[in-house]
Amino acid sequence: MPPPPRTAPVSTEYPRSGKLMFGGVMMIVAGLFNVIIGLVALFNSAYYVTGPSGVLVLNLTGWGWLHLILGALVVITGGALFTGATWARVITVLLAGFNALASLAFVSAYPLWSIIVIALDVLVIWAVITADAEAEA
């Protein structure tokens, strides 16, 4: 009697798609941008010009630390997104949303850069949320 045919193991992970790969790369790029913003705010606070009311909620040092830590988390999550794991997708959407909010609050210090980062975050959220439709097609 011949042995039973081998079947592929069932994976609980999503298949890799171009949108997930795009989301992962953009998360890493956006995270590195945040790390740079954070380091500049920490080591050269005169680089950013703030309005008369200053920066929303925190001073530049506080925003520097926030961007540095958030940037590191975004880079790590972007790397994990390449696996297609569900947890990485959920964390990516949450971190990208929080990153967009942090950039919105940082607009008074660096408006053009903040708008670019917000646009990248929106693209990442779109790519990660719609990746299932591409994988099914």
In the predicted model, what is the mean pLDDT of residues 36-43?
Answer: 84
Per the structure, how many domains does the chain have? Answer: 1
pLDDT in tens, 89-98: 999 999 999 8
Provide the 10 A C-beta neighbour count for residue 102: 22
**Residue 67's closest CA among 10, 109, 26, 128?**
109
Q: Are 29 and 120 in contact (CB under 8 A)?
A: yes
Instruction: Report if residue 9 sits inside a domain.
Output: no
Instruction: Report if residue 3 sits inside a domain.
Output: no
Q: Are 97 and 120 in contact (CB under 8 A)?
A: no
Instruction: Report if residue 6 sits inside a domain.
Output: no
Instruction: Report if residue 50 sits inside a domain.
Output: no
Tell me the pLDDT band of 41, cut-offs 50, 70 and 90.
confident
**Residue 48's closest CA among 57, 39, 60?**
60
Instruction: Report if residue 11 sits inside a domain.
Output: no
Residue 26: left (phi > 0), alpha (psi -120 to 50), or beta?
alpha
> How much is the pLDDT for 122?
93
Name the residue range of residue 79's domain.
18-45+58-136
pLDDT in tens, 54-105: 555 567 777 788 889 988 998 999 999 988 888 999 999 999 998 888 888 7
Instruction: Report if residue 8 sits inside a domain.
Output: no
